[in-house]
Structure 1
């Protein structure tokens, strides 16, 4: 790294310190993207919005990221790196000031989209620069491990700070913390980067700006359909129906352009690889079920009465699991790349056990000591899978396709997260209604258990000085509340059972995939020997 094209001479002599500074800059860049996940209730109150409005505003940031990502890998090779990052962080500061100032949910969503654009500029630039600090044989694996492990855990890391703020002051002070992080990043950029990097700018001619705009509007429309669709009974609502047609038409135009242009944003030849498609399906499944951890956090708030601070503190076990899993995955792959299938099997096995544990042990009175087991397991399983699946995707395509594999992985994550939002909401709605109707059918005078519980509550309240009428009313209210909680717990258990089945299916498919590949390899070896 002594001859780095990006860094000043003094930092080039300390690669470990340089990586540490780069990770801090990267964290400052993605912090504003992940800043509201833990405090959505405060954001909803501040903007006077519905939960789905805030969910859309958060996901539209990811639409900004994936719309910018293909362009970013070209622009980073054209612009002066230090000036490029300084401009992005200054834009981020202005966006935070705007987010703090506006109270309209539409303006908030627009600003969040541009927050995603800024996040992509910083994160994409950091990915390229981090790669240059790592020796060539380990570059892809270690770089991806550093980069994606921080992205995987950034929400909870940022949540530590936001939870501390909301417990002690007005939640909008979070914006000042984000601005302070961005100022720190600006100072680090001035400190470590050369005023003019030692590389020849790569021209931006024939860049598909039109295709980028097509994809941008298609991604935003898709997010709208997937978030608002379940709440509007999908295509029964005309707005959802027209928006879905609009998104499909734009995606079709985008794919047509990519197939016909000489220099497309993404190289569609990657889909000729069966291994890449298989790896992509694994990624979609992984990210689609990864967010089941949010049901655990939601349970801890609903059933156990935890605060945002309690949730974030329990999330430390998840962060620890993710870092340990990522470290093990990177070490195992560096030792022998053929260990990749074993890591995938181990990761899905851990996530299978995590889903089974929650299904088997969920009760209205779990303690933190008990909950830290599934929370850690989810992080550990995710750490074992995240890097191997990403590496599997990247190595399954020719090097001539450039960064297309990473871009399509980002697309897959976006779709998987939207699918999990819509899927978990729909499953909760369906299962909750089913269990609630079943429980309410048993709350009748002919049910001995119901009568015993009602009499127990009435006797307790009468002994505390309530009149018989008041005691009956409060008792009925408590039983109704208890049945609602019970139906929600049964719903979560049902969803985790579905998750366990999907993880088991992935495990079995991976075994079948490995067996088929071995048979093919043995057949090819036999043909070569005969030739």
Structure 2
């Protein structure tokens, strides 16, 4: 590693140690953002709120991240990195202490937004520093792979610790773990970074604070619409209609402001690059459909009755798939960047196979071993796709646009997440109701299967000492539960079939582009010869 403007000379001699330390600091920061993904039920019971209220409070942290990101890249060049990180990490400790004692959901949401800001500051700094630990030729590929792979797997990794905590003590003890991680990060920062940077602070010119405020309100409004919209029948609710109008107006004003400023937060010229638009389209599809793994985890918990520890343990297979495939993808791209289209093809092919496997094999009695393979396949597909799609997006924009490529990719991730939350919920709601209505229309006394099942249940419970009336009531309850499980299974099968079709369409499009490029290259060679 060349002499760094960030890392002190004593530690800088050991590149591996520097990278491990940076990963640990990044993990400590991202952990507070992703810590409640697998224990939301505990958070819901703690605040006595609806599921969507807690979902909004947890996701508002992402609004803090995407609002701060374009500003963060400028602030880092002005402040001393060590002092900047230490201030952010100390603020994170105070925010987690606040969350530990606050029981009001509104205040919790505000603190979560600020946690998103702190997460962005630390993660943005570490991303830039990680870049400097690699040679110029491999900087973007290796840095993006290392950084975003941790982002991709952090949710499950921190979920392991969170599930261990909730099984042994009050879930709020998770905050003590998060504070401990940040204390560790502070100590690493003190040992790792130079007290004073050798470069001159970059002037802070005029930062578009009004534009940042517009974007913040627009993103928060969009989050509100996508979280609460499916529960309130979308535009049938006046609040959803008004919030949507506000989001559209605020977004329009933000884009108009960015187009008219000399130093905008994002350079809108990137949207004139067709290759970048196509890359964003792939990223939207990838991030939107990859969240189908949450349906598997939900199925395992609700239908199969797995504990949170079992769900987290199954997620380890997903992480293994991500790590193995990421290493393969990075190695192949380093050897030859022409492998990138092939990785995209194989990645979407594996993702399509994962969806079709779930569609054809989903039953009410799958074992842990049965689900390990599709969970691993999902992680493997994500590992094959994440690095190539990210490199494709960032590499498609001119270098003159600065960090706009990374910023827009983060915006895309946010939009895809909201689409998956609202889309999967709406699909489950509609298809569940459709299948329940279909089943209920067939549940008539004259239907032999229903009568046989009722008599079977009733005879079983009468033999256990229940009265005839009690046995009939319990048998009806079991029938209703069986009806709900069957409706949910059929719903999941339909959703995974839709995912299969979408992935297959993307695969065919990419295959078509590959064939066309091959033909063009062959014609060019023939003309040259």
TM range (shorter): over 0.9
Residues 250 and 21 (structure 1), Cα distance of their counterparts in 2 relative to 1, 3 Å cut: same
Q: Please show how residues 415-494 of structure 1 align to structure 2 within 5 Å.
A: 415-494=415-494
The separation in 1 between residues aligned to 2:56 and 2:518, in whole angstroms, is 45
Q: Which residue does 1:247 correspond to in 2?
A: 247
Q: Please show how residues 174-189 of structure 1 align to structure 2 within 5 Å.
A: 174-189=174-189
The separation in 2 between residues aligned to 1:513 and 1:430, in whole angstroms, is 36
| C-alpha RMSD of matched pairs (Å) | 1.2
The separation in 1 between residues aligned to 2:123 and 2:521, in whole angstroms, is 39
The separation in 1 between residues aligned to 2:397 and 2:131, in whole angstroms, is 19
How much does 1:197 deviate? 1.6
Q: Which residue does 1:163 correspond to in 2?
A: 163
Q: Which residue does 2:59 correspond to in 1?
A: 59
Residues 525 and 213 (structure 1), Cα distance of their counterparts in 2 relative to 1, 3 Å cut: farther
Q: Which residue does 1:132 correspond to in 2?
A: 132
How much does 1:112 deviate? 0.4
SS in 1 for 2:198: coil
How much does 1:457 deviate? 1.1
1:39-62 per-residue CA deviation (whole Å, 9 max, x = no partner) reads 101101111111001111121111
SS in 2 for 1:441: helix
SS in 1 for 2:5: coil
Matched, 1:308 2:327: no
The separation in 1 between residues aligned to 2:151 and 2:10, in whole angstroms, is 28
How much does 1:525 deviate? 6.5
How much does 1:518 deviate? 3.9
The separation in 2 between residues aligned to 1:110 and 1:402, in whole angstroms, is 31
SS in 1 for 2:465: coil
Residues 116 and 482 (structure 1), Cα distance of their counterparts in 2 relative to 1, 3 Å cut: same
How much does 1:310 deviate? 1.0
The separation in 2 between residues aligned to 1:273 and 1:43, in whole angstroms, is 43
Matched, 1:209 2:183: no
How much does 1:467 deviate? 1.9
Which stretch has the larger CA shift, 281-290 or 505-514? 505-514
Which stretch has the larger CA shift, 228-237 or 198-207? 198-207
TM-score, with structure 2 as normaliser: 0.98
The separation in 2 between residues aligned to 1:517 and 1:102, in whole angstroms, is 58
Q: Please show how residues 198-237 of structure 1 align to structure 2 within 5 Å.
A: 198-237=198-237
Which stretch has the larger CA shift, 341-350 or 467-476? 467-476
1:373-428 per-residue CA deviation (whole Å, 9 max, x = no partner) reads 11111111001101100000111111111111110000001000000000001000
The separation in 2 between residues aligned to 1:307 and 1:387, in whole angstroms, is 32
Q: Which residue does 1:103 correspond to in 2?
A: 103
The separation in 1 between residues aligned to 2:520 and 2:394, in whole angstroms, is 22
Residues 276 and 2 (structure 1), Cα distance of their counterparts in 2 relative to 1, 3 Å cut: closer
Q: Please show how residues 218-367 of structure 1 align to structure 2 within 5 Å.
A: 218-367=218-367
Q: Please show how residues 38-117 of structure 1 align to structure 2 within 5 Å.
A: 38-117=38-117
Q: Which residue does 1:504 correspond to in 2?
A: 504
How much does 1:524 deviate? 6.3
How much does 1:73 deviate? 1.0
Q: Which residue does 1:6 correspond to in 2?
A: 6
Q: Which residue does 1:517 correspond to in 2?
A: 517
Q: Which residue does 2:118 correspond to in 1?
A: 118
Q: Which residue does 1:142 correspond to in 2?
A: 142
Residues 201 and 499 (structure 1), Cα distance of their counterparts in 2 relative to 1, 3 Å cut: same
Q: Which residue does 2:37 correspond to in 1?
A: 37
Aligned residues: 529
SS in 1 for 2:442: coil
Assess if the C-alpha contact under 8 Å between 1:2 and 1:9 holds in 2. no
How much does 1:113 deviate? 0.5
The separation in 2 between residues aligned to 1:393 and 1:430, in whole angstroms, is 34
The runs of 5 or more residues in structure 1 that have no matched partner are none
